[in-house]
Amino acid sequence: MDVFDLELYVKMHKSLLEMMILKKIIIGIYFLTFLNGCAQNIAILGPAYTLASTGNIYQAGLSYGSDQAVTRLTGKSTAANVKELIKPKSDDNDFEQMVKKRIRETRKKLNLTN
């Protein structure tokens, strides 16, 4: 492999890298402009984190879709439904009260809000 081949190889990879970066920027601008009004900003935060951390668009889409389905069926967000389930009720049996108490204690230890 002579010097000319090496220079050509480096130029090709450099241009390919630049094209990939440009492609990501264009796709990001597309999503920011055209899909901005499709959903609430907070509702998309969880799936966006899932997509960024795992890179799995199907998992992120499923997460967002299931959240929207729960919200449409119940009229409340997923967090509001979970909060309602954790509240102790007078007709709970001992096992349910114990499980809910453990959940509250674990959330306190992990410093999570209700």
Q: What pTM value is reported for the model?
A: 0.35
Q: From CA 26, how far away is CA 20, in angstroms rounded?
A: 10
CA dist 65 and 74 (Å) reads 14
Mean per-residue pLDDT for 24-53? 71
pLDDT of residue 9: 76
Using pLDDT thresholds of 50, 70 and 90, give the confidence band for residue 56: confident
> What's the Cα-to-Cα distance from 41 to each of 30, 47, 64, rounded to whole Å?
16, 11, 12
Residue 46 makes CB contacts below 8 A (sequence gap 6+) with 63, 64, 67
Residue matched to tokens 């306190």: 108
Helix (H, G, I), strand (E, B) or coil at 41: coil
